[in-house]
Amino acid sequence: MRFDVRSDGDIAWYAGLLRRAPHGNEIERVTIRIVDWRELVGQCSTEAAAGCYLRRKGNRGLMVVPAGRSSSIAHTVVHEYGHHVDASRRHGGLDEPNGTPLWWRARGMAELVAVRSVRDRYQVGWDRAISEVFAEDYTYTSLRRGFKIGWLEPPSRVVQQAILADLGLAAPPTITDTRPAIKPVVMTREGTLEPNGRITVDFGLLGPNRQVRLQGVLVGAGATRGRIEVVCDATERRRVLTDATPTAALVLTGVGPATCAASITNTGTQSGRYRFVVRLGLQRQPTA
């Protein structure tokens, strides 16, 4: 590995991180540029970046990382090296960057692509880019902490072994289930709702075959009257809340992509306590 030091930094610490990280001979084709935070912003073209990776000719790579020594910088260094691992290994004729072959299968990336939960670039955010999912999986495999993709579970042992196997450091794992471990998105609101008051949660569905579940409770509003409702583009559902049925639920299946809004409304004459939960998930077909 090569270093380009432009700010005070403990080169041995950076080198140790990368020597301990899973790697192959691609480590000979990377340059680690250590800069101060001001230069980092300029080189990575965004104030939000903790570091960045640039692919160069001849299958070489440049990592730009901040000077310092901390757990967060360690995460950045290993994460950016994960991009170098990705850039050094092509597979399946797929558009790069796309991770590594066994990782792709073990993580269930084909399903995530099919349902549009991920993209090949940053069209719907940093945490939905295929390259960033791989880099975070690689970092977790190396450091065993700090997974930053909030909508996915951290990589399983099978996914971690797949990364190591793609690097020639472990036997290929037995992959029996390629369904991605997606976390459901849950949005909760609760408090007091005045007469004619309404609480709305706006959200979007990135791809097809989504499931939306709402549950609403409205109590203590005298002669309780209210409703819950959800609108996803042209699809609309609602349920009435009363003294006899102060709790109601709605489920929409097979919807998306769509722009949606879910709400609970107090149509009574007194204030009431409410709790409103919106849960988004992926509707999966049963396996054979």
Cα 133 to chain center, whole Å?
7
Report the relative pairing of strands 60-66 and 30-35 from DSSP bridges: parallel
Predicted model pTM: 0.86
Environment class of residue 155 by beta-carbon count within 10 Å: exposed (0-12), middle (13-18) or buried (19+)?
buried
Residue-wise over 273-282: b if at least 16 C-beta within 10 A, else e?
ebebbbbbeb
Contact 269, 223 (CB under 8 A): yes
Please confirm whether the linkage preceding 286 is cis (ω < 30° from 0). Answer: no
Report the relative pairing of strands 60-66 and 52-56 from DSSP bridges: antiparallel
Q: pLDDT per residue over 164-217, tens digit each? A: 999 999 999 999 988 898 988 999 999 999 999 999 999 999 999 899 999 999
Q: Hey, where are the domains in the chain?
A: 2-166, 185-282
Query: ∠ CA 282-286-288 to the nearest 5 degrees?
Result: 145
Residue 27 φ/ψ, nearest 5 degrees: -65, -20
Residues 6+ apart with CB under 8 A from 174: 158
The domain covering 185-282 belongs, at the CATH homologous superfamily level, to GOLD domain (2.60.120.680)
pLDDT confidence tier of residue 117, bands split at 50, 70 and 90: very high
Q: pLDDT per residue over 121-170, tens digit each? A: 898 899 999 999 999 999 999 999 999 999 999 999 999 999 999 999 99
Mean pLDDT value of segment 216-244:
88
Dist. CA 240–CA 250, nearest whole Å: 11
The string of DSSP codes covering 86-112 is HHT---TTPPSS---HHHHHHHTHHHH
Q: Which residue has the tokens 């300029």?
A: 42
Q: pLDDT per residue over 17-38, tens digit each? A: 999 999 999 999 999 999 998 8
